[in-house]
Structure 1
Amino acid sequence: MRKSKIFIKKAMYNELLAYCLKEPQKETCGILAGKAARIEKIFPLTNISDSPKLCYHIDPKEQLAVFKELRKQAIEMVAIYHSHVDSQAYPSQRDIELAFYPESSYIIVSLSDPGQPQVRSFKIVEGKIIEEELVIENA
């Protein structure tokens, strides 16, 4: 089976890393939007988890506001992103359990070495993890 791809421009990729590195001791989270598998816009959202170093919980009011904005702009949710403070860029059991959008990608940024963040993308469908190729475009 051929690995699916998700595309992000280098400047937007750097912006995503900057959001995650802003609070390296807390899982940051948000929505990446665009068309098809091309990310065009980042919507950073608030992590309202009681244990933000260990997991993320997107503020539902903010998430709803982003969904309304996506409809208004005629773009779609391409991916949900979040960072891992002390673990690899791979879905945790909790990430798998909370993967409610099978059509969406899940991008995980590992900050276990903040000088060298690792970024990987996955589809999570019915508990099955399928890694995607994250293509960073230069223009």
Structure 2
Amino acid sequence: MTSERSSDAELVVPSEIRNRILERARDGVPEEICGVFGGDFEREGRSRVRSQYPATNVAETPRTRYRIDPEEQLAIFERLEARGEEIVGFYHSHPRGPAQPSATDEAQATWPDRSSLIVSLEPLEVSSWRWREDGDDERFERERIVLE
């Protein structure tokens, strides 16, 4: 269940990376685009994006879903590790939907304390959500985006 309540979490994103993701989301219409964020955890609840790795959306219905090819995802994870970065989150677009996690996004979430940045194109909005797991309580909580 998505929680509109904001947490103390923050995702620090360089403006250049945000702009590239926005451009890619516009170029990808009508399909969802997706990728992985590399970076580090500066302190509890604060992640810093240092790099982004675009991925191919291999979902059966890419206009309404996204899925990163498992082999491509593994290759991205290996690149991150080689650079000394951690997986701080993922991103994808909702070309015709809101900038909040869908029921499918929630059902497929498996990375606790990682960010999920979502780009909505109609209307244009960028938001970020952090997946939380606490016993049986699993949910996305909205987090602040800090642009640099």
TM-score under structure 1 length normalisation: 0.91
Change in Cα spacing, 1:2 to 1:55, as seen in structure 2 (3 Å) is closer
Q: Is the 8 A contact 2:119 2:126 kept in 1?
A: yes
- 1:120 maps to which residue? 127
- Counterparts of 1:81 and 1:39, CA distance in 2: 11
Aligned positions, number: 134
Q: Does 1:17 align with 2:22?
A: yes
Instruction: Give, as a single letter, the amino acid of the residue that structure 2 aligns with 1:53.
Output: R
Q: Does 1:136 align with 2:143?
A: no
Once the two structures are aligned, what percentage of the paired residues are identical? 33
- Counterparts of 2:17 and 2:56, CA distance in 1: 19
Unaligned residue ranges in structure 1 (runs of 5+) = none
Q: Deviations over 1:15-69 (max 9, x none)?
A: 1111211112100000011111111111000000110001101111100001111
Unaligned residue ranges in structure 2 (runs of 5+) = 1-5, 42-46
- Counterparts of 1:19 and 1:109, CA distance in 2: 10
- 1:32 maps to which residue? 37
- Counterparts of 1:16 and 1:90, CA distance in 2: 16
- Counterparts of 1:54 and 1:2, CA distance in 2: 27
Greater strand content: 2
- Counterparts of 1:77 and 1:69, CA distance in 2: 11
- 2:3 maps to which residue? none
- 1:65 maps to which residue? 75
- Counterparts of 1:124 and 1:105, CA distance in 2: 7
**SS of equivalent residue, structure 2 residue 117:** strand
Q: Is the 8 A contact 1:24 1:111 kept in 2?
A: no
Residue 2 of structure 1 and its aligned partner are, at CA, apart by: 5.2
- Counterparts of 1:2 and 1:96, CA distance in 2: 17
Instruction: Give, as a single letter, the amino acid of the residue that structure 1 aligns with 2:143.
Output: E
